[in-house]
Amino acid sequence: MAALRRKFGEDYQVVNTSQATTFSAPVKKKRQRFVEKNGRCNVQHGNLGGETSRYLSDLFTTLVDLKWRWNMLIFILTYTIAWLVMASMWWIIAYIRGDLNHRHDESYTPCVANVYNFPSAFLFFIETEATIGYGYRYITEKCPEGIILFLFQSLLGSIVDAFLIGCMFIKMSQPKKRAETLMFSQEAVISQRDGRLCLMFRVGNLRNSHMVSAQIRCKVIKSRQTPEGEFLPLDQCELDVGFGTGADQLFLVSPLTICHEINPKSPFFDLSQRSLKNEQFEIVVILEGIVETTGMTCQARTSYTEDEVLWGHRFLPVMSLEEGFFRVDYSQFHSNFEVPTPPYSVKEHEERSALPSPLSVDTPPPSRGQRRERVFSVDCIRSVEEGVGRGPLGGRLPSKLHRMSSSGREDLQRKVLLLSSQHAEKACSTGDLPLKLQRLGACSSSSSSPPPSPEVPRLQLSALKVGFEPMTQSTGELYRPGGGGAAAAAAAALAGSPRACSPVPVSTPGRTEDSLPLKLLRMNANR
């Protein structure tokens, strides 16, 4: 015991199975069906009051709808009473005429020969009604009342025969018996077909004679409550089994599997495997067709409750190909097997598919060219500008150029930010920049450069910034091939390696005033 507790824990207990202890599983209450499996409707009509007389107005249909035992009882009683009544009338005629007292009188002519008591009168009626005619009892010509009764007997007998024999014939030839050879599967299944969740059941015809114009319909019977608070017991809802596509018209030669696709219009749109155990509904299946041999319309019915609907199952195939014909194995007609099926409803599936995926919101990384054109840094522009301004040339510029530089600085930064927000193709366009900027950009693009790095745009913008200061001057006045100034340093930076973003060193050989253009020298002299 200690070893067992160490293995299984302290909660381990030994149960004595020698005692006769019986465990009874909870018995589920039998489901009250609206339509039985054999097609009989489980409905009784009561408290008709004065409406009972309507049954007598259609007496023939009433007799046909009765059960066989009641039909046989009515059939026997009708003929027995009619025979006794007519035999009594013949006996009364013989009694009134006094034929019973002249039994052995040869000279007396009775109304009916050889009728002297009630048994003989009854036999005479039977012989006449059944047209047996033994020839021993017959009507004489001296009995007019007998002739009239004979005519009435013939008419009444024909009416009774037509009514009762016709009723029995119609009842025997009813197509209800033909419905006994139309089979439905004992259970319905729910599984996927063609990627869609479907409710399926199977129908079959046991006879070789076909059902002409066979059509199938389904009704879902379920109690519900309207938004206005009205309770609808046994509310009927149509179940689509292919009415729009013509799939409800059956060629019932071999067993067929009827399929209902569960979609937003289906009453089972929010039905899942878990909610199926708590639902209460009944599916009524109605199969109609014309019997090929008799031409009468036949209807077969059955029903499936929620307990008879299996989630995640599929029917076994029953058709097989033999030598020259197809064989149907009805031993597997009701068999099904389990298949993988999603346990959630179609509504939940659509809601899950409608939610955006977390991976779909990630933006793809920019391409190599887009990264080069879009990454701009205004701080790098300022740092290069400050480095150039601290050189020996920056402090010797005229005040007019300083004002021009300060006035155009904000415009250049605004254009740079505007270019950074545009697409790569738009950022490469220099049509809106001054001529000096276009030429400097062309020089930088024509030069060969090593593999790009994130600091390349910063050097290009620094060159553009230096070249923007003398916007009103031409390139020929600001830059001479032999001189070395800020523009030359910027051009050299564009033509050189663009890997570093540090200020470009500016070499100023000799005097700075000698390297300035003539026009700038004049402006310094005026100052």
> Could you read off the pLDDT of 243-274 as tens digits, one per residue?
889 999 999 999 999 999 999 999 999 999 99
Residues with Cβ within 8 Å of 271's Cβ and at least 6 positions away in sequence, in order, are: 262, 279, 345
Cα–Cα distance measured from residue 183 to residue 412, given in angstroms and rounded to the nearest whole number: 88
Residue 120 and residue 99: Cα distance in Å, rounded? 12
Classify the phi-psi angles of 125: left when phi > 0, otherwise alpha if psi is within -120 to 50, otherwise beta. Answer: alpha
Residue 370 has pLDDT above 60, yes or no: no
Q: Is the pLDDT of residue 214 over 90?
A: yes
Q: What integer pLDDT is reported at residue 227 of this predicted model? A: 92
Using one digit for the tens of pLDDT, what is the confidence trace for 274-326?
Answer: 999 899 999 999 999 999 888 889 999 999 999 999 999 999 999 999 888 99
Residue 437 has pLDDT above 70, yes or no: no
Listed range (125-139, 166-180, 196-210, 475-489) with the worst mean pLDDT? 475-489
Q: Beta strand 188-193 with 309-311: parallel, antiparallel or unpaired?
A: parallel
pLDDT at 84: 92
Containing H/E element for 451?
Answer: none
What is the rounded CA–CA span in Å between residue 301 and residue 280? 20
Task: Report the pLDDT value the prediction gives residue 453, as an integer from 0 to 100.
Answer: 42
Helices (H), ranges, 279-345: none
- Residue 89: pLDDT over 50: yes
- Mean pLDDT, residues 433-457 taken together: 44
List of residues 6+ apart from 128 with CB closer than 8 A: 150, 153
Amino acid at 138: Y
User: How many of the other CB atoms lie within 10 Å of CB of 14?
Assistant: 8
Query: What Å distances lie between residue 294 and 82, 170, 174, 175, CA to CA?
Result: 33, 12, 10, 9
Q: Distance between alpha carbon 516 and the CA centroid of its chain, in Å?
A: 85
- The reported pLDDT for the residue numbered 248 is 92
Percentage of the chain beyond pLDDT 90 is: 32
Q: Of 199 and 48, which is predicted with more confidence?
A: 199
pLDDT score at 513: 52
Chain centroid to CA 132: 71
* pLDDT of 117 above 70: yes
How much is the average pLDDT of 106-119? 85
Per the listing, tokens 């040869």 go with 106
pLDDT at 54: 84
Cβ neighbours, 10 Å, residue 448: 5
Residue 28 — pLDDT band, cuts 50, 70, 90?
Answer: low
Q: Given this model, what pLDDT does residue 418 score?
A: 52
d(CA 59, CA 137): 37
What lies within 8 Å, CB to CB, of 169 at 6+ separation is none
Instruction: Give the confidence band of 58 by pLDDT, cuts at 50, 70, 90.
Output: confident
For residue 65, is pLDDT > 70? yes
Q: What is the largest CA-CA distance in the chain?
A: 185
Chain position carrying tokens 């399926």: 200
Which one of 187-191, 292-296, 354-358 scores highest in mean pLDDT? 187-191
Q: Average pLDDT over the chain, rounded to whole? A: 73
Q: Which of 90-94, 126-130, 338-342, 397-401 has the highest mean pLDDT?
A: 338-342
pLDDT tens digits, 379-432:
444 444 444 444 444 444 455 545 555 555 555 556 545 554 444 334 344 444
Assess whether pLDDT exceeds 70 at residue 231.
Answer: yes
User: Taking a C-beta distance cutoff of 8 angstroms, is the pair 435, 478 a contact?
Assistant: no
Task: State the pLDDT at residue 131.
Answer: 80
Length of the chain: 527
Of 477, 481, 502, nearest in space to 491 by CA: 481
**Can you give the pLDDT at residue 358?**
57
Residue with tokens 């033509």: 495
- Eight-class DSSP state of 23: -
Amino acid, res. 64: V
Write out the H or E segment, with its range, that includes residue 463. helix 456-468
For the four alpha carbons of 239, 243, 245 and 251, in that order, the dihedral sign comes to: positive
CA nearest neighbour of 297 among 214, 241, 219: 214
